[in-house]
Structure 1
Amino acid sequence: MKTIRKIGVMTSGGDAPGMNAAIRSVVRTCAYHELECIGIYRGFQGLIEGDFKSMDARSVNNIINKGGTILKSARSDEFRAREGRDTAFAKAKSAEIDALIIIGGDGSFNGAILFSEENNFPVIGIPGTIDNDIFGTSSTLGYDTACNTVVEAIDKIRDTASSHNRLFFVEVMGRDVGNIALNAGVGAGAEEILIPEENLGKERLIESLKRSRASGKSSSIVVVAEGDKTGENVFELKDYVEENLPEYEVRVSVLGHMQRGGSPSCWDRVLASRMGVKAVESLMEGKSNYMIGIRDSQMTLCPLDQAVKGKTKIDKELIRVSDIMTT
Structure 2
Amino acid sequence: MGTGERRPVVAILVGGGPAPGINSVIGAATIRSILGGCDVIGIQDGFKWIMTGKKDKVKRLSIEDISRIHFSGGSCLGTARANPTQKPESLDACLDSLDALGVTRLITIGGDDTAFSALKLEQRAQGRLQVVHVPKTIDNDLDLPHGIPTFGFQTARHIGVELVKSLMVDAETTSRWYFVVTMGRKAGHLALGIGKAAGATLTIIPEEFRRKPIRLKTLVDILVAAFIKRLAAGRSDGVAVLAEGLVEFLDQQDLNGLEDVERDQHGHVRLAEVNFGVVLKRAVEGELRTFGVKTTIVEKNIGYELRCADPISFDMEYTRDLGYCAAQFLLEGGNAAMVSIQNGRFIPIPFSDILDPATGRTRVRMVDVESESYVIARRYMIRLSQEDLSHPQDVVRLATAAGMAEDDFRKRFQYLMDKDV
DSSP 3-state at the match of 1:98: strand
Unmatched runs of 5 consecutive residues or more in structure 1: none
Is 1:172–1:224's contact at 8 Å kept on the other side of the alignment?
Answer: yes
Q: Deviations over 1:124-162 (max 9, x none)?
A: 000111111110252112111111121111112122211
Letter in 2 for 1:125: H
Task: Report the Cα distance in structure 1 between the residues aligned to 2:243 and 2:222, rounded to whole angstroms.
Answer: 17
Corresponding residue for residue 41 of structure 1: 44
Q: Is the 8 A contact 2:277 2:300 kept in 1?
A: no
The counterpart of 1:148, out of the listed 149, 158, 172, is 158
Question: Out of 245, 251, 255, which is 2:298 matched to?
Answer: 251
State the secondary structure of the residue aligned to 2:347.
strand
Deviations along 1:246-303, one digit per CA (max 9) or x if unpaired, are: 2322111112411212111111111110011111111122221100123344332112
| 2:108/2:118 contact within 8 Å kept | yes
Q: Which residue of 2 aligns with 1:113?
A: 119
Identity of aligned residues (%): 26
Distance 1:298 1:4 in 2: 29
Which piece of structure 1 moves more, 136-145 or 202-211? 202-211
Counterpart selection for 1:224 from 242, 245, 251: 242
Q: Map 1:273-288 to 2 at 5 A.
A: 273-288=320-335
Q: 1:60 to 1:46 in 2, by over 3 A?
A: farther
Moved more, 96-105 or 250-259: 250-259
TM-superposed CA distance for 1:315, in Å, is 3.6
Superposed CA deviations along residues 77-129 of structure 1, whole A, max 9, x for unmatched, are 56632223222222222222111000011111221112111112210000111
Shift in Å, 1:308: 4.5
Alignment equivalent of 1:172, drawn from 174, 182, 194 = 182
Q: Which amino acid aligns with 1:321?
A: I
Equivalent AA in structure 2 for residue 152 of structure 1: E
Corresponding residue to 1:25 among 21, 24, 28: 28
Q: For structure 1, which segment, 75-84 or 278-287, has the greater mean C-alpha deviation from structure 2 after superposition? A: 75-84
Q: Distance in 1 between matches of 2:344 and 2:190?
A: 20
Give the deviation of 1:174 after TM superposition. Answer: 1.2
TM-fit CA distance, 1:208: 2.7
Residue from 179, 191, 194 that aligns with 1:184: 194
Of residues 189-198 and 58-67 in structure 1, the stretch that sits farther from structure 2 once superposed is 58-67
Give the Cα separation in 1 of the matches to 2:7 and 2:190.
Answer: 38
* 1:262 equivalent in alignment to 2:270: no
Q: Give the match for residue 126 of structure 1.
A: 134
* 2:285 aligned partner: 242
Q: Structure 2 length as normaliser, TM-score?
A: 0.72
Q: Which has the higher strand share?
A: 1
Do residues 312 (structure 1) and 376 (structure 2) align? Answer: no
The 1:204–1:80 alpha-carbon spacing in structure 2 relative to 1, beyond 3 Å, is closer
- How much does 1:4 deviate? 8.4
Q: Is this contact kept in 2: 1:139–1:293, CA < 8 A?
A: no
Say if 1:210 and 1:298 are closer, same or farther in 2 by CA, change over 3 A. Answer: farther
My pick for the range that moved more, 140-149 or 83-92, is 83-92
Amino acid in the other structure paired with 2:25: A
- Contact 1:11–1:102 (8 Å) recurs in 2: yes
Q: Distance in 2 between matches of 1:319 and 1:208?
A: 18
The answer as to whether partners of 2:10 and 2:39 remain within 8 angstroms in 1 is yes
- Contact 1:206–1:241 (CA under 8 A) maintained in structure 2: yes
| Counterpart among 231, 235, 250 of residue 213 in structure 1 | 231
CA distance in 1, matches of 2:287, 2:239: 17
Change (3 A) 1:11 1:315: same
Shifted more, 169-178 versus 67-76: the winner is 67-76
Q: Highest Rg: 1 or 2? A: 2
**2:304, 2:297 → 1: CA distance?**
23
CA contact (8 A) 2:9 2:103 kept: yes
Check the 8 A contact 2:176/2:237 in 1, yes or no.
yes
1:14 aligns with 2:17: yes
Query: For the residues of structure 2 that align with 1:34 and 1:12, how far apart are their CA atoms?
Result: 26
**CA gap 1:172/1:96 in 2 versus in 1, 3 angstroms:** same
Q: 1:4 to 1:34 in 2, by over 3 A?
A: closer
Q: Distance in 2 between matches of 1:87 and 1:205?
A: 50
Q: Residue 53 of structure 1: SS of its match in structure 2?
A: strand
The separation in 1 between residues aligned to 2:203 and 2:7, in whole angstroms, is: 48
Map Cα deviations across residues 53-73 of structure 1 (whole Å, 9 max, x no partner).
Answer: 221211103211111100111
Deviation at 1:32, TM superposition (A): 2.4
Paired residue type of 2:366: K
The answer as to whether partners of 1:145 and 1:264 remain within 8 angstroms in 2 is yes
